[in-house]
Chain A
Amino acid sequence: AQTVTQSQPEMSVQEAETVTLSCTYDTSENNYYLFWYKQPPSRQMILVIRQEAYKQQNATENRFSVNFQKAAKSFSLKISDSQLGDTAMYFCAFMGNSGNTGKLIFGQGTTLQVKP
């Protein structure tokens, strides 16, 4: 069974600085998808970034980028130029390709606080 682990329950960063959130996963599949979702205090889940395992190039979305290490089964999220609006809980999620069910397996989450 696939598992996703986020080992940092809480993190903080000063506004305008850079922070990296860690995520590791376990799977026997070769093709799969990885996501980072953001859940602000409103509790609305918002997709931040996605990575397809068969693509070697790391995904980027403006200030958000990932470091995808397939062999190490690691998928970290880097937030550059942190803003107060980045304060949220961040979830790493895995979607296997088997059966195309689209089921997501989530990590436990990391609460990020951006300090002014």
Chain B
Amino acid sequence: DGGITQSPKYLFRKEGQNVTLSCEQNLNHDAMYWYRQDPGQGLRLIYYSQIVNDFQKGDIAEGYSVSREKKESFPLTVTSAQKNPTAFYLCASRKMPGLAGGEQFFGPGTRLTVL
């Protein structure tokens, strides 16, 4: 089955540690996105990538980093510089960035809690 997988489902981090959230897709989508979801604030874009080895900052990129070495993978690192990292993180992908209006497909998410 084609889809997007995120791991782990739950992640606990001590203050001062960096953690990496995994996102993999086998949909052959070109574009991938990371969103953060907080209660009452909807989803906010952290980073996105439209092609391998290239990515752009979203609205709340501070304290986060990404890489896109393979088309299928777009891992997100939450660094110690992120002041309030406890949240639900969603990864999404989209077919053909040139196809305007194509919807994004979402993974099941990772819940990150800072202890």
Contacts and interface: CB of A to CB of B under 8 A. Distances in A.
Contact of A109 (B42, B56, B102): B42
B109 A43 contact: yes
Interface residues of A, number: 28
Contact of B58 (A9, A43, A103): A103
B84 to A, nearest CB: 18
Contact of B43 (A6, A33, A102, A106): A106
Contacts of B48: 101-103
Chain B interface residue bracket vs A: 20 to 34
B33 A103 contact: yes
B90 A45 contact: yes
Interface in A30-57: 31, 33, 35, 37, 42-47, 50, 52
B88 A43 contact: yes
A95 interface: yes
Given A33-B101, A101-B48, A107 B42 contact: yes
Q: With a 10 A CB-CB cut-off, give which of A45, A102, A109 has the most chain B CB atoms.
A: A102
Given A103-B45, A104-B43, A106-B42, A33 B106 contact: no
Nearest to B104: A104
Contacts of A52: 101
Nearest to B88: A43
Contacts of A42: 108
Given A43-B88, A43-B109, A103-B48, A91 B42 contact: yes
B98 A100 contact: yes
A67 interface: no
A45 B35 CA distance: 12
Nearest to B103: A47
> In this complex, which of B42, B94, B105 has the most chain A Cβ atoms within 10 angstroms of its Cβ?
B42
5 contacts: A9-B40, A44-B108, A101-B31, A102-B50, A104-B104
